Chains A and B, each alone.
Chain A
């Protein structure tokens, strides 16, 4: 019998498949299609201190094997998320809930985390450090090791829940940033967020998305994500949640062989709402095909031998 269970710090997951933040709403749209309790965990839409409308539209551009999004963290703000969305999510999902948090200052990260820390239903805090830092000239928190470390430390101070820092791939040295987060007390690393990209419409000769640039993700970025997970796995001891282009059970195993302890699925949910359910269902067969009895055993397996 294939054993698909994994753990993230102290949190038990029945399998490593987690819908990625921003591609699964608060779960209930998908719960109408299938019982989402088959999922290992669920990361909900990025939450900020204030409500946000996000960027102007168009926010979406199609790419070969992926898409660009410039949603801009549209969400109702942490208070409403806790009062309205979290109860609805908990009504349809009993597994571990990952609260994805964004901020535009260190205080906002800490304040938002402090409120979500009080929610019993939340198992893990996932801190997205790819937002621009408004109080420091707009450079993203996740592009400088010292800033990423300061966010990590500030969040760790307000919570006892495991803190995963979600890294942006749009940096020269992702290993340095991951190490800085580990040293600052991070319990784990989530990676990768979207790659900065753009498309131009040949008919209008203008960028397709109103914000000109946006985050590229989907199957096309899997090799980049695998490479980065591999590099960070060699440099840190804390668990990694790997993501970027995962759309099949085989991709989950490949990501775990590079070093991921669990795996998130993003863009695939948008084009196939049943993507996560299918991956979960396929895992045991694919494990058997490759002679894997226990998924935990293969984490980082590609680094040995």
Chain B
């Protein structure tokens, strides 16, 4: 983990509620896709955890949804503004078990952390299928960005206004994949857990006090013992998840 001041380079809406922010700063603490940063937002006591969507040696991309006052304030940041970030938080995805044809499943603002993961898996020469699930056509983002990486992209909308009608699990049926990575709202995680034919990894969210393992605010029970979502998570393996204690 590192603390650093990042400079906002751009901050633009992708949809009515979802923003993409690019920043410049020291990203050397970020070691795996699926990790997150914890952002100090002026006027708010707790930091806001947001997944790393993409990063380079001194650049960082975050994609976030405006849900409350903190993310609303974040959406008002303009190029040149400084932001205090804790970086390199959480375990991130383990790429080693992906196999030949991994499947990525993202729902809503669960999509962002899969972007860097997709890039890294493709760089390793694997054949990627990505299912992006949204409620409706107006909420879709990053379809073309994933296609540009060379992945096969399937978009689902719950109301059928674009792509395949239904949920990500409907699009999973009949697909031939070796492993999966999943991030999204908890009902989606549970559905994918049930519908999946292989092993895989899930990314979880929890309310956080610190985001770096100091307060025990984010603990969950797993098959392999108690884990902190911010430290031993946010990524858990399918085999270790105990649903009844999540959320």
Contact = CB atoms under 8 A, between A and B. Distances in A.
A54 B220 CA distance: 10
A271 B216 contact: no
Contacts of A61: 207
Interface of B is mostly: loop
Contact of B45 (A23, A30, A64, A71): A64
B86 interface: yes
A29 B213 contact: yes
A53 B245 CA distance: 11
A269 interface: yes
B214 A74 contact: no
Contact of B217 (A45, A65, A69): A69
B247 interface: yes
B3 interface: yes
Interface string A25-68: 10001101100000000000100000001101111111111110
Nearest to B43: A64
B120 to A, nearest CB: 25
A44 to B, nearest CB: 11
Interface residues of A, number: 35
Contact of A71 (B47, B212, B216): B216
A153 B64 CA distance: 54
| Cβ-closest 8 pairs across A and B | A270-B210, A58-B207, A60-B217, A74-B216, A60-B207, A62-B46, A60-B209, A71-B216
Given A29-B214, A59-B216, 9 more contacts: A23-B210, A30-B214, A53-B226, A57-B217, A58-B247, A59-B217, A59-B219, A71-B216, A273-B214
17 contacts: A25-B213, A29-B214, A30-B214, A32-B1, A33-B1, A53-B221, A54-B219, A57-B219, A59-B207, A59-B209, A60-B208, A67-B45, A218-B45, A270-B210, A271-B45, A271-B46, A271-B210
Interface of A: 22-25, 29-30, 32-33, 45, 53-54, 56-67, 69, 71, 74, 208, 218-219, 267, 269-271, 273-274
